[in-house]
Structure formats: C-alpha cells, structure tokens
Amino acid sequence: MGMSISKQDHKTTMPDKNLLKSFAQIAKSLPNAFFLLDGDGNICDINPPGCRILGMKKEQLVKQKLHDLVTSDKKQVDAWLLQWSRSGSPMPCSINIKKEDDEVLACLASGSVLRPKTEDAPALLLLRVQLKKVLNQGFATLNEKITLLQREVNERKTIESALRKSEEQVRLLLDSSEEIIYGIDLKGHCTFANLACLKMLGYDELSELLGQNMHTLIHHSLPDGSAYPAEACAIFKAHHTGESTHCDTEVFWRRDGSNFPVTYNAYPIFQDKVIQGTVVTAIDITEQKEVQDALDRSNEALYRAQEIAHIGSWDWNIVTGELAWSDEIYRIFGLTRQQFPATYEAFLNTIHPDDKEAVAKAVDAAVADVDAGYSIEHRIIRPDGEERIVHEHGIVYWDGNHKAIRMIGAVHDITELKQNEHAINQLNEELEERVEARTAELKRTQSELAQKEKMASLGDLVAGVAHEINTPVGIGVTASSHLAEQLESYQERYDNNTLTRGDFEKLLSTAIESTQMVSHNLKRAASLIHSFKQIAVDQSSDERRSFFIHDYIKEMMWSLHPKLKNTPFEVEINCPENIYIYSYPGVFSQIITNFVVNSLVHGFAGATSGKITMNISQDANNFIFNYRDDGKGIKKEALKRVFDPFFTTRRGSGGSGLGMNIVYNLVTQKLGGTIVCSSSSGEGAIFEISVPFNLLKNIPS
C-alpha cells in the first residue's frame, strides 16, 4: 500500500476499548455502512449495515484488509486511503467490493480522518460505503455530490462529537473520584491524571504532569528518604510482568518536597494482549497510619500498666476451649508460651490442688447463670514450686440462645498484699496477747484495718493508664510503710518494757491516720480502675444493660481525661442523677467520644480557651441529650453535609469524614432516635439527640 507502519506501530493499530465502544454505539444507529480502518486499511470495526451489505459477520471482517475485499484497481484504492489519511478530505471514489458469495457490488466510498497519525499511533479512518444503485444513478450533478459530501461531513461530526462526549464522561468519572488515579506509558510517562491526583500532589494544571516520568516525579524515594530505584518499584513490576500489584508501605512525594503514606494498586493496560501502559490508583492513608500508631502506643501503655500493677488479662473462647493470656499472666504464673498449651484444662493444672475444685465450681456457675459472675481468690503453683496468690474476675458473654460463648477477665497477683495482710494480722494477734488492757476502740481499729487491707486486695482489676493510678497507690504504700515502721519501733519499746500510755496513744493516732490515708487512696484508685474497666468493656461489647446516665457520663469523662487534661478547655455536665435507662452504654460512649474528639480537632483547633457543655434532660416521652461547644462552628455549606459519609473539611490533613456519619447511624439505627445539628461560623456547634423513652425502658425483670 501507499502507507506503511513499523511492526512496533502495528501493535497499536487497534483503537482502545472506549473508542471501539463509542463507535459501536454511534454507528449502529446510522443507515449507511461505516468501516473503522487504521492507516494500513485494516478493518478495526464495522457497523451492522456494513455487515449486511457484505453478507458477512463482524467477526469475519475485523482485522481483514479492505484491500482484500476490493476487486477494482487496488492501487487506486490504496491511493484514496493515503489521501484520506493525509488530508481528511471526504471526496468519494468508486470501488467494487466482493461479497462472501462472490457477488461484486458497485459502491461509492468516502473516507475521513477520525484520529490523526501521531508518533505513537497511526491514523484512524472513518469509511462510508454506499451501493451505487441506491444513489439515484451515481449523483449526476455537482449539487448532489456537494449534498453527499455535506451529509458525510455531518455524520463524521456526529461521531466525533459523540466520541468527545464519551471522553468528557470518562474525565468526569475520573475527576469525581477522591482517589489518586493516573496512567503511564511504557516509558513511565504520565498519560492522564485526575483532579484528586493534582490536588494531593500539589499541582495546579494537568499539563504539569503530562509527559513527566511519574516515578522520578512522585515516587523517587522511600519513606526514610533513601533513593528508590524504579526497578524495585511495585508499579514498575506491574508494568513489565503484566500482573497487577499492591503496596501499602511507601509514600508519594508532593511538589513542595513533603510526602504522605499511600496504599496503591497498579493495573497493566492490555491491547491485543500487548501491554500498553499501567493505571495506578492510590489512597492517602495518613489517618490510618496515625490511628495504627496510636493503637500501638495504647497497646504499649497497656502492656506497661499491666506490668507495673501486676495485673494480666485473659480471653477464653468457651466454644473452642482456646485461652489467650497477656504477657503479664505468663510472668505471674512463671510460665512461657512454649510451656503453656493455652487451654482451660492447662489453666486448671496450674492451680493449687486444694483450690482447684472451688475454681472449677466458680467457673461452672458463671457460665451456667447470667447473674452469677466470676470472682475468686486462689493459689497457683509455679513450675519451680513457688506458691502465689491471685484474684481473678471475669465477665461472661452470651449468644442469642443464652448460651455462654466467651469469658474475658483479669488476674491480679496479690501475694505480697496477702503477705502484708497476714503479717499485720499476726502483729495484731501478738499485741492482743501482750496488751491485756486493750480497749474496745483498739479492737475496732484493728478490725477496720484488717477489713481495709482485705478490700485493697480486691482493687485494681483493670489495666488503665498507669500514671492515673500511680499517685493514690503510691500514697497508700507510703502510709502503710510508715505504719509498719512505727509498729516496729513500738514493738521494741514493748519488748524493753519502756512502752508508756502516751506512747500507746500516739501509736493509736498514727494507726488511725495511716489507715484512713490508705483507705482514701485505695478507694480513689479503685474508682479510677472501675471507670476504665467499665468503659473498655462497654466499647468492646454490643450488650444492653441498665445504668444511670449521670454516673456513666462521669465514668466516660475519666476515660477521656488523658485527652483533656493538658488542654485549656472546660467540660460542664448538667444531668439529673435519677435518669435510669436500659440501653447500649457502648453506643453512648462512642457518641460522646466522637463529639469530644470532634470539638478538640475541629471546633477548638488553634484556640487557647473553650468550653464543652452537655445537658441531659427528659420530658414525658423522650430522653434528650444536648451537646455543644463554643468553638469555630460549622459553615453553612458544610452544615448541610455534616452527617454525610466521607465528608470532611480536613481532607488531606487526616480527616476521614466518617465520625459524624457513625454518630448519625448509631443514634438513628441502634438507638432508634433522631439527631440534629445547628451551627454558624464562629459561634460553636450544637448537636441534639432525642430518643423515645419506650426504647429505653424495656428493662428485663
């Protein structure tokens, strides 16, 4: 033929799938036969009227050369193809085409350029074919030829317009995505990019990315700043292996030199089973990384707190028998993970023989009765023969058929506490024997001291934030140590017969003051631990229970204390103490947490003062929870979408846009209530939740 292309170019002669799809949708509705040809005259597609004229199926014609179907002067046909591809002129020519049954048809054909030839791809031609016998004796006059040309031009414009519209729709689809989407050719050069890609990478115009090597531009270095060779890149591998790849451990680099962590997928683009390039989709995972880092820090804090308090946690799957211990329990029991097969039976084997039956009965009672609970003190025997005393407390979880399926609990090593208690009891017994004139007040004091020490052994069941309980525990230890020193001093005086009545009265005063100090601080620590434990249990379960909303909110604020204590912001809670409901405490915990965190992150961003107010009330039919802050407020355009999923005013700064949507779903679906938000810029935000009381009073008997 008059036109030729190289073997490499021939691989790209077929148009992409979108172009083929657009041609098929448009050309099928036209009455005349239309062929889509490449620059060599190969048939890329043909509409139904064309198939009917030739009496052949589309599959028989695609990839054939027009040259092979023509019986007239083939060189002349090649010349026409060359002229159409160069000039775009739709001037018609006469050609004879042979049908499948060898019948020869006299036709009039005219072609025009649909896509000009480029460095990377040949021209694409749109060929229109009409039977001469239908054309009123071959267009005898010039006016008829002009009319035909005009019609062809109009049809060509219709197809080109539809193709442009299809491309615009693809562009709109790409730009509506919040994910980074871009394409690269075989050399790694950018062929397209959506708006999210431009914004997240800090570029203003698409022209700044097109033709650029994307690896060199945005993927050149690893998170630590070291060079990242393209050959080691997952995108490069997809590019050359023909298989999609995924990675979530790397970063993309912005125009200003900063970077952000991403999770991305790379999909190779095929045409005629030949890789033409790669499409990359990526998501900014800054927020997920921050959440994971916070979770890791939280787990580390929990690990350290358990270690300091000598409290370990366990999780027993009653159905499968599997038992999971925290590291602190292994330390308490003197075992390693290799030594312990992690089953309930193996746990029973660690218990002192004299206590094993009592523990087994307590466990059986807990899993047989919803109201029984599990709380017991017992001895264990370590592999080296040492005996330790522990206190265990557990909570049982039930399925819909009231069958126990899981028990979660804690183990507290109280050996030293018991030893101290025993030593004090022994000292009291000795003092009773040697002091015949002991008064009833002294006996009462001794009894109270023993009781307080016993109560102390039941405290500290939940591993909360270590520094929150260090102070009261430390004060109690100091007070008890001081009392022990005083008792030793007075013991010496007694043994030396130098103990006076005044000395004994001072001993009583010191004992009372020390025990009161120990009692006060142990109660304070127990209250903190109870609050942390209850909130943690509620948030990890989906159970309903009865509770006073006033007391629960106070416990909630203890759990949020680490977030608030180093801020200049105030919290005011106005709630009657007698509102008693049966509902999902974990839901209220999550709602309040989201509200408070939202105020800290959004409402009070950059503020040096602020106030959060929670007002809880009830009327004849509804429970009403009103939450407000006096922060920045919400702009009018954002207020309409405040509960929409994925809507955030901090896109690109870690905001996921899911917090308020989660709150909305919890209120409307879990609680069956309603929630409304009112605000204006600079005047804070107000959220009001209303739940019908008939959904909160179904308290089981």
**279-290 pLDDT, tens per residue?**
888 888 888 888
Residues 408-439: pLDDT tens digits? 888 888 888 888 888 888 877 777 777 665 55
* Residue 248 burial class via C-beta count within 10 angstroms: exposed 0-12, middle 13-18, buried 19 and up: middle
Q: Do domains 7-173 and 177-284 have the same CATH topology?
A: yes
Match 């947490």 to its residue by tokens: 593
The model scores a pTM over 0.75: no
> Residue 630 has what pLDDT?
92
How would you classify residue 151: left for phi > 0, otherwise alpha for psi between -120 and 50, otherwise beta?
alpha
> Residue 615: is its pLDDT beyond 90?
yes
Give me the pLDDT at residue 447, please.
Answer: 38
DSSP 96: E
At 176 the pLDDT is 63
> Do 392 and 410 contact (CB within 8 A), yes or no?
yes
pLDDT value for 167: 56
Q: What's the confidence (pLDDT) of residue 163?
A: 56
| Mean pLDDT computed over 502-512 | 75
Which range among 193-197, 478-482, 503-507 has the greatest average pLDDT? 193-197
Q: Which residue type does 469 have?
A: I
Q: Which residues contact 558 (CB under 8 A, 6 or more apart)?
A: 528, 531, 532, 535
Confidence of residue 16 (pLDDT cuts 50, 70, 90): low
> 448 φ, ψ to 5°?
-65, -40
18-22, 126-130, 289-293, 453-457: least confidently modelled range: 453-457
The structure tokens listed for 311 are 């409290």
Contacts of 5 (CB under 8 A, 6+ apart): 13, 39, 40, 122
Q: Where are the alpha helices (DSSP H) in 313-386?
A: 327-333, 344-348, 353-368
Percent of the chain at pLDDT > 90 equals 12
**CATH of the domain spanning 7-173:** 3.30.450.20
- The band of 497, judged by pLDDT with boundaries at 50, 70 and 90, is confident
**Residue 642 in contact with residue 658, Cβ under 8 Å?**
no
pLDDT tens digits, residue range 224-275?
889 999 888 989 888 788 888 999 889 999 999 999 999 899 988 887 788 8
Please give the full DSSP string across 630-675, using - where no structure is assigned.
-SS---HHHHTTTTSTT--S-TTTT--S-HHHHHHHIIIIIS--EE
Mean local confidence (pLDDT), 365-370: 85
Torsion of CA 303, 308, 310, 316, to 10 degrees: -10
Helices (H), 319-465: 327-333, 344-348, 353-368, 415-434, 440-456
For 551, 628, 635, the CA distances from 600, given in Å and listed in that order, are 23, 12, 17
What's the confidence (pLDDT) of residue 438?
A: 59
Paired strand residues for 390: 378, 413
Q: How far apart, in Å, do the first and last CA atoms of the chain sit?
A: 93
Whether the CB-CB separation of 220 and 253 falls below 8 Å is answered with yes
User: What is the rounded distance in angstroms from the CA atom of residue 194 to the CA atom of residue 182?
Assistant: 7
Count of H helices and E strands in the chain?
24, 22
DSSP 189: B
Q: Which one of 35-49, 64-78, 241-255, 296-310 scores highest in mean pLDDT?
A: 241-255
Give the pLDDT band (50/70/90) at residue 55. Answer: confident
Mean of per-residue pLDDT scores for the chain: 77
Residue 126 or 180, more confident: 180
Chain centroid offset of residue 275 CA: 34
Angle at 190 between CA 184 and CA 193, to 5 degrees: 100
Residue type, 394: G
On whether the CB atoms of residues 39 and 85 are closer than 8 A, the answer is yes
Does 98 score more than 70 pLDDT?
yes
Angle at which helix 585-598 crosses helix 501-540, to 10 degrees, equals 90
* Between residues 253 and 491, the one the model is more confident about: 253
Taking CA atoms, 158 is separated from 17, 126, 137, 165, 624, in Å, by 19, 12, 27, 10, 61
pLDDT value, residue 445 = 45
Give the pairing of strands 569-574 and 610-618.
parallel
Q: What is the mean pLDDT of residues 165-171?
A: 57
* Strand duo 311-317 + 323-325: pairing: antiparallel
**Mean pLDDT to the nearest integer, 673-684:** 88
Pick the CATH number of 542-695 from 3.90.190.20, 3.90.930.12, 3.30.565.10, 3.40.50.2300: 3.30.565.10
Contact indicator for 383, 335 with CB cutoff of 8 Å: yes
Structure token pair of residue 697: 């009073």
The fold of the 290-413 domain, in CATH, is: Beta-Lactamase (3.30.450)
Return left, alpha or beta for 652; rule: phi > 0 is left, psi -120 to 50 is alpha, else beta: left
Residue 9 has pLDDT above 60, yes or no: no
pLDDT of residue 674: 93
- Residue 671's CB is within 10 A of a number of other CB atoms, namely 22
Q: What are the residue boundaries of the structural domains of the chain, listed by start?
A: 7-173, 177-284, 290-413, 417-533, 542-695
In the CATH scheme, what architecture does the domain 177-284 have?
2-Layer Sandwich (3.30)
Q: Summarize pLDDT for 99-157 with one digit per residue, the tens.
A: 877 888 888 887 877 777 766 666 777 788 877 765 444 444 444 555 555 566 566 66
Nearest to 410 by CA among 311, 324, 327: 311
Q: What is the DSSP string of 567-620?
A: SSEEEEEE--TT-EEEE-HHHHHHHHHHHHHHIIIIITTT-S-EEEEEEEEE-S
Residue written as tokens 């030293």?
416
Q: How is the chain split among helix, strand and coil, in percent rounded to 5?
A: 45, 25, 30
What is the residue whose two structure tokens read 């916070």? 294
Measured in residues, the chain has a length of 701
Q: Which residue has the tokens 């060079």?
A: 227
Instruction: Give 167 or 576, the one with higher predicted confidence.
Output: 576
pLDDT of 8 strictly over 50:
no
> Between these two residues, 680 and 383, which has the higher pLDDT value?
383
Letter for the amino acid at 175?
A: D
